[in-house]
């Protein structure tokens, strides 16, 4: 048996749903999108769900692909769920296939919130083990440094096929590690699509699926969004559970929602429309960074305790009169 709640990364959302019952299809999605459980745990749990439930028990109609595509039928869901499991198992197995001479591994350890966007930031190896141990050595350098030991990092290993004449950025397998060097995500290259599938046919894996998940947050709550790979960011819940925007999220069956956010680098207010609800948790007064304290005023606006004009006048935002030519 398995505990599906451990695949809900947010402690607040996990606690809120401790008595909830999810459909098997929804459980499959929760397993796939978790960024805080290991790939080995995901493989074991997804395999159990797919083997344990009959096709008609999955309730595939309760989930959808995040975007303009919907679930056509249970056959499509089952095919893509099994494809997801197959890719995970293949990539775990491929780590130790040192007999392959046409593959190299590129590895990089990066501080959380930064991206290795240049080839020179990677080191290249002939085996997965050599690449992984290079990440461990780099991580140990951080741990041995008094000033860097608390800096969160994440690691990446790309498995690249040599002499690939049709290479593009999707043609490399990817392994991603959290700050504790646990393997928490894998993504297969495009050539792992089943041979029976047409080249131009749209095929998705479960990481791109979603469903409607009620949240414990109220309009005006300040929340933080945490991921093993990105810097924590903060925002305000802009609408409540009885508003039209929440109804749209419900109809779209998505695990993403919008937040009011403040960009400290530009000094501008904006909003997100892709904040993962499974990464959101309430932010206490003590946790909120000083440069984000303006969100307290946004909170009061959203709760109806402060009118918008008063907010603009007291927030330090420059208001410019439009010019006519």
Residues present in the chain in total: 325
91 with 173: CB under 8 angstroms? Answer: yes
Residue 87: pLDDT above 60? yes
pLDDT at 311 over 80: no
pLDDT tens readout for residues 124-161: 999 999 999 999 999 999 999 999 999 999 999 999 88
Residue 101 confidence (pLDDT): 72
Distance, CA of 24 to CA of 305 (rounded, Å): 42
Residue-wise pLDDT for 194-235, tens only, equals 655 555 555 678 999 999 999 999 999 999 999 999 999 999
Mean pLDDT value of segment 273-291: 93
Place of tokens 């809120």: 16
Calpha distance 295→302 (Å, rounded): 10
Distances in whole angstroms, Cα of residue 188 to Cα of each of 68, 118, 172, 175, 217: 23, 21, 7, 9, 35
Containing 299, the helix (H) or strand (E) segment is helix 295-302
Q: Check residue 324 and give its pLDDT.
A: 45
Amino acid 93: pLDDT = 93
pLDDT score for 161? 85
Residue 233 backbone dihedrals phi, psi, to 5 degrees:
-125, 165
Query: In the numeric block, which tokens belong to residue 10?
Result: 């947010």
What is the distance between the alpha carbons of residues 278 and 276, in angstroms, rounded to a whole number? Answer: 5
Maximal CA-CA distance, the chain: 70
């Amino acid at each position: 048996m398995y505990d599906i709640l451990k695949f809900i990364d947010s402690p607040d959302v996990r606690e809120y749903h401790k008595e909830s019952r999810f459909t098997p299809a929804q459980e499959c999605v929760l397993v796939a999108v978790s960024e805080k459980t290991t790939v080995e745990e995901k493989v074991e749990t997804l395999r159990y769900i797919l083997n344990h439930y009959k096709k008609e028990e999955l309730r595939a109609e309760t989930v959808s692909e995040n975007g303009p595509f919907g679930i056509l039928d249970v056959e499509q869901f089952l095919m893509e769920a099994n494809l997801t499991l197959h890719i995970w198992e293949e990539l775990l197995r491929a780590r130790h296939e040192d007999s392959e001479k046409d593959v190299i591994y590129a590895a990089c350890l990066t501080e959380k919130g930064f991206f290795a966007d240049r080839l020179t930031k990677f080191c290249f190896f002939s085996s997965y083990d050599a690449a992984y141990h290079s990440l461990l050595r780099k991580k140990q350098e951080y741990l041995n440094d008094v000033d860097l030991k608390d800096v969160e990092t994440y690691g990446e290993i790309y498995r690249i096929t040599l002499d690939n004449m049709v290479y593009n950025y999707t043609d490399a397998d990817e392994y991603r590690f959290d700050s504790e060097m646990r393997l928490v995500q894998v993504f297969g290259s495009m050539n792992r699509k089943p041979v029976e599938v047409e080249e131009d046919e749209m095929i998705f894996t479960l990481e791109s699926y979603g469903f409607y998940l009620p949240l414990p947050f109220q309009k005006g709550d300040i929340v933080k969004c945490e991921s093993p790979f990105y810097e924590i960011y903060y925002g305000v819940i802009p609408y409540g559970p009885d508003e039209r925007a929440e109804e749209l999220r419900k109809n779209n069956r998505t695990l993403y929602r919008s937040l009011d956010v403040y960009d400290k680098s530009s000094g501008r207010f904006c909003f997100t429309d892709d904040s993962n609800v499974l990464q959101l948790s309430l932010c206490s007064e003590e946790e909120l960074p000083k440069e984000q304290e303006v969100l307290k005023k946004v909170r009061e606006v959203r709760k109806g305790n402060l009118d918008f004009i008063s907010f603009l006048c007291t927030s330090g935002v420059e208001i410019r009169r439009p010019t006519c030519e």
